[in-house]
């Protein structure tokens, strides 16, 4: 990935900012498009050019043609998507269509961040978020067939690490639990609590994105840790570490119980996870 011109959508977000850091070390020239819906200027990385806007307006931005586009900038919450269908449509359906048109016209490679909800027990129709993401992965594959675009589709599994959203309705689980422990507040677990997740550190996710950007082609690059934990297991780890209690909350729509882990294709490219959730919690990181 040395000396490439890279466009990253959602590059001021949690995962995107870490990808920016990594690719700068590869002497890449990086441009970011972000609408700051969940991204923040606090995640800006020196040496990166930032453009404020929606991906649906990409054709109006006068961008130089990149070598590769990492499309991470979509709406990415399951349960909340039932209340945000207008945003899901705008950021996912409209935005990704325009990204595909841009890639088709410019002849650059696309790495698309699909959603592992596609492989969950309740399927891709379980929420507005899951539905649009599954539709988009199919559209990416169709553009590959129709217009011969060079693409690779990745699937993230429950990413955690520094710069997670830690409060508000879009907070992620590990960051939320960390904040609760810091404040001495009880943790909240949505029932039944037995729903399992393959929690994957953001550094491992970025390793996978770089490898797929270099060598990947086609669909099926799941990036997830082999170990899985139930949500209640994770709460117990934090509870034992932080000496706080656990409260149970009612079940919610769209909350999957499990998902198939598909990592064989990316492991064939040389990727493997290096960081472990249990150690992350044990170390009590406050980043």
CATH number at residue 90: 3.40.50.720
- Tracing tokens 């929420």 back to the chain, one arrives at 127
How would residue 265 be classed by pLDDT, with cut points 50, 70 and 90?
very high
Q: Could you give phi then psi for residue 89, rounded to 5 degrees?
A: -65, -45
256 lies in some domain: yes
284 has a pLDDT exceeding 80:
no
207 lies in some domain: yes
Let me know: does 36 contact 52? Beta carbons within 8 Å.
yes
How would residue 126 be classed by pLDDT, with cut points 50, 70 and 90?
confident
Q: Could you give phi then psi for residue 280, rounded to 5 degrees?
A: -60, -45
Let me know: does 190 contact 254? Beta carbons within 8 Å.
no
How would residue 1 be classed by pLDDT, with cut points 50, 70 and 90?
confident
Quickly count: other Cβ atoms within 10 Å of residue 227's Cβ. Answer: 13
- Which residues span the domain enclosing 144? 5-282
- Write down the pLDDT at residue 211: 98
Comparing CA positions, the residue from 156, 185, 171 lying closest to residue 243 is 185
Tens-digit pLDDT profile for residues 64-93: 999 999 999 999 988 899 999 999 999 999
Tens-digit pLDDT profile for residues 130-187: 999 999 999 999 999 999 999 999 999 999 999 999 988 888 999 999 999 999 999 9
**Number of domains present in the structure of the chain:** 1
Mean of the pLDDT values across residues 123-128?
83
How would residue 287 be classed by pLDDT, with cut points 50, 70 and 90?
very low
175 lies in some domain: yes
286 has a pLDDT exceeding 60:
no
How would residue 245 be classed by pLDDT, with cut points 50, 70 and 90?
very high
Alpha carbon distances (Å) from 24 to 2, 29, 81, 192:
9, 7, 33, 43
**Alpha-carbon torsion, ordered 137, 158, 16, 118, to 10 deg:** 10
269 has a pLDDT exceeding 70:
yes
- The model's pTM: 0.94
Q: Which residues pair with 31 in a beta bridge?
A: 7, 49
| 245-271: burial string, b at 16+ Cβ within 10 Å, e else | ebeeeeeeebbbebbebbbebbeeeeb
The H or E element containing residue 189 is: strand 187-190
Q: Is residue 214 packed enough to be buried (19+ CB in 10 Å), middle (13-18) or exposed (0-12)? A: middle
- Write down the pLDDT at residue 285: 43
More confident residue, 13 or 259: 13
244 lies in some domain: yes
- Write down the pLDDT at residue 121: 64
- Write down the pLDDT at residue 86: 96
Let me know: does 187 contact 180? Beta carbons within 8 Å.
yes
Tens-digit pLDDT profile for residues 189-244: 999 999 999 999 999 999 999 999 999 999 999 999 999 999 999 999 999 877 89
Residues with Cβ within 8 Å of 157's Cβ and at least 6 positions away in sequence, in order, are 116, 197, 198, 199, 200, 222, 223, 224, 225, 259, 261
How would residue 118 be classed by pLDDT, with cut points 50, 70 and 90?
confident
Tokens representing residue 236 in the block: 């117990």
183 lies in some domain: yes
93 lies in some domain: yes
287 lies in some domain: no
């Amino acid at each position: 990935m040395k000396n490439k011109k890279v466009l990253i959508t959602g590059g001021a977000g949690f995962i995107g900012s870490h990808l920016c850091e990594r690719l700068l070390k590869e002497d890449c020239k990086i441009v970011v498009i972000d609408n700051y819906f969940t991204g923040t200027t606090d995640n800006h990385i020196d040496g990166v050019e930032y453009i404020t806007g929606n991906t649906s307006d990409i054709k109006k931005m006068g961008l130089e043609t990149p070598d590769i586009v990492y499309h991470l900038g979509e709406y990415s919450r399951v349960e909340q998507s039932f209340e945000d269908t207008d945003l899901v449509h705008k950021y996912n359906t409209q935005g990704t269509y325009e990204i595909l048109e841009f890639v088709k016209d410019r002849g650059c490679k696309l790495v698309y961040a699909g959603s592992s909800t596609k492989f969950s027990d309740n399927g891709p129709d379980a929420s507005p978020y899951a539905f649009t993401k599954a539709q988009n992965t199919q559209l990416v594959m169709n553009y590959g067939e129709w217009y011969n675009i060079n693409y690779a589709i990745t699937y993230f599994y429950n990413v955690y690490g520094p710069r997670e959203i830690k409060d508000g309705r879009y907070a992620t689980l590990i960051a939320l639990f960390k904040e609760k422990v810091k404040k001495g507040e009880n943790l909240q677990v949505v029932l039944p609590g037995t729903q399992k997740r393959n929690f994957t550190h953001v550094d491992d996710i970025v390793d996978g994105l770089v490898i797929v950007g270099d060598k990947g082609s086609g669909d099926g690059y799941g990036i997830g840790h082999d170990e899985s934990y139930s949500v209640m297991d994770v709460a117990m780890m934090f509870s034992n570490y932080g000496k706080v209690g656990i409260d149970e909350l009612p079940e919610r729509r769209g909350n999957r119980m499990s998902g198939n882990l598909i990592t064989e294709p990316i492991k064939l490219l040389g990727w493997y996870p290096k960081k472990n959730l249990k150690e992350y919690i044990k170390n009590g990181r406050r980043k």
